[in-house]
C-alpha cells in the first residue's frame, strides 16, 4: 500500500503526523537514499531513514492501544531533549520495545497537570487537531480581585494577538483573600491561552494545572511525576471522540515491559461519575 510518508511514520508509532511533517520539512527523512519532500508517498518495502538511521516500518495492527495519563510537574518541559539540560516529561516513561511515546499537545514549563502520551501517531494527530474540539479543563489560582464583569468578558471573548479567545465555562472553586481558585474550560490548545486570557483582565495566575482532557480526568492521588496507564474503556472513549474504531484488546507488543511495570491495584474499582479507571504506574 502506497501512503504519504507522514502517515506511514504515524502508523509505525515514530511520530504524530504533525511531527513527521516537520521532520520532512527539515530534511531529516530520506526514502531509498533520497531526501523526502512533503506530500511524497512511500510503501512499507521502501527504506526510510530518520537522521540517517533506518526506520522500522513493519506495520503493527491497525489500531494501537497504549495511552498514558502523566501528571506533569512544574519545571518539566514537553520536548524530548533540551539544550539547557532541563528535565523533560519523557525521562521517566516506560520503555517501549518499538515505536515511541508521542505527547498529545504540550503544557508550558510553569504549568502542571494532565498530559496524555500515546504510541499511536494517528490518534495523537486527531486529538490535537482543532477540528476535534476536545475540551480541556484547568484549575487556576489567581492573584488579585476578579469582578463579575471580568468573568463575563472572558466567557464572551477577548481579542488576543492571535485572534479571539474565550472560556466555555468559569466556575468558582473557592479560596480566601487574594489567592482564589477557578476551574475553566476551553476547546483550544493555543500557546499559553489560559494565562493570556486572565492576564488580559489584569489578573496574574499564581498556579495553573490541567485537570481534564476530554473524557480523561487527572486521578486524585496521582502524584506529580507519576503516570497511569489507561484501560480499554477510557481508550475507546477517546477514540470514539475523534472518529477512530474502537479497540478490542491489547496486543502483546503493546503491553508494558517488565522493566516498566509497577505494583498497581489488585482489583478494578468502580469509577465515580466522569472519573476514569486506570492501571496505576509510576
Could you tell me whether strands 227-230 and 67-72 are parallel, antiparallel, or unpaired per DSSP bridges? Answer: antiparallel
Q: How many whole angstroms separate alpha carbon 156 and alpha carbon 201?
A: 13
Please tell me which residue in 46, 51, 82, 108 is annotated as part of the active site. Answer: 108
Could you tell me whether strands 136-143 and 227-230 are parallel, antiparallel, or unpaired per DSSP bridges? Answer: unpaired
Number of residues that this document lists for the chain: 282
| Residue 182: all three cell numbers together | 477557578
Q: How many whole angstroms separate alpha carbon 109 and alpha carbon 262?
A: 27
Find cell 489560582 and name the residue.
141
Q: How many whole angstroms separate alpha carbon 104 and alpha carbon 67?
A: 10
Is 108 known to be catalytic? yes
Sign of dihedral through CA atoms 246, 8, 128, 259? positive
Q: For 81, list phi and psi in degrees, rounded to 5.
A: -150, 160
CB atoms within 10 A of CB 168: 14
Q: Which residues are catalytic?
A: 108
Amino acid at each position: 500500500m502506497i501512503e504519504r510518508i507522514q502517515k506511514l511514520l504515524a502508523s509505525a508509532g515514530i511520530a504524530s503526523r504533525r511531527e513527521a511533517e516537520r521532520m520532512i520539512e527539515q530534511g531529516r527523512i530520506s526514502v531509498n537514499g533520497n531526501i523526502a519532500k512533503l506530500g511524497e508517498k512511500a510503501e512499507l518495502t521502501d527504506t526510510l531513514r530518520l537522521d540517517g538511521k533506518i526506520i522500522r516500518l513493519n506495520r503493527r495492527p491497525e489500531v494501537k492501544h497504549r495511552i498514558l495519563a502523566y501528571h506533569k510537574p512544574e519545571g518539566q518541559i514537553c520536548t524530548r531533549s533540551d539544550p539547557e539540560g532541563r528535565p523533560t516529561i519523557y525521562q521517566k516513561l516506560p520503555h517501549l520495545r518499538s515505536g515511541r511515546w508521542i505527547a498529545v499537545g504540550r503544557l508550558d514549563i510553569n504549568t502542571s497537570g494532565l498530559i496524555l502520551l500515546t504510541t499511536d501517531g494517528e490518534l495523537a494527530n486527531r486529538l490535537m487537531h482543532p477540528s476535534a474540539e476536545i475540551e480541556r479543563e484547568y484549575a487556576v489560582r489567581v492573584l488579585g480581585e476578579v469582578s463579575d464583569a471580568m468573568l463575563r468578558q472572558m466567557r464572551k471573548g477577548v481579542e488576543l494577538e492571535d485572534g479571539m479567545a474565550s472560556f466555555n465555562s468559569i466556575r468558582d472553586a473557592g479560596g480566601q483573600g487574594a489567592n482564589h481558585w477557578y476551574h475553566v474550560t476551553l476547546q483550544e490548545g493555543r500557546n499559553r491561552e489560559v494565562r493570556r486570557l486572565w492576564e488580559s483582565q489584569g489578573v496574574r495566575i499564581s498556579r495553573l494545572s490541567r485537570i481534564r482532557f476530554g473524557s480523561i480526568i487527572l486521578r486524585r492521588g496521582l502524584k506529580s511525576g507519576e503516570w497511569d496507564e489507561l484501560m480499554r474503556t477510557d481508550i475507546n472513549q477517546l477514540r470514539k471522540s475523534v472518529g477512530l474504531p474502537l479497540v478490542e484488546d491489547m496486543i502483546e507488543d503493546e503491553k508494558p515491559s517488565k522493566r516498566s511495570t509497577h505494583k498497581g491495584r489488585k482489583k478494578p474499582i468502580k469509577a465515580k461519575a466522569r472519573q476514569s479507571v486506570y492501571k496505576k504506574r509510576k
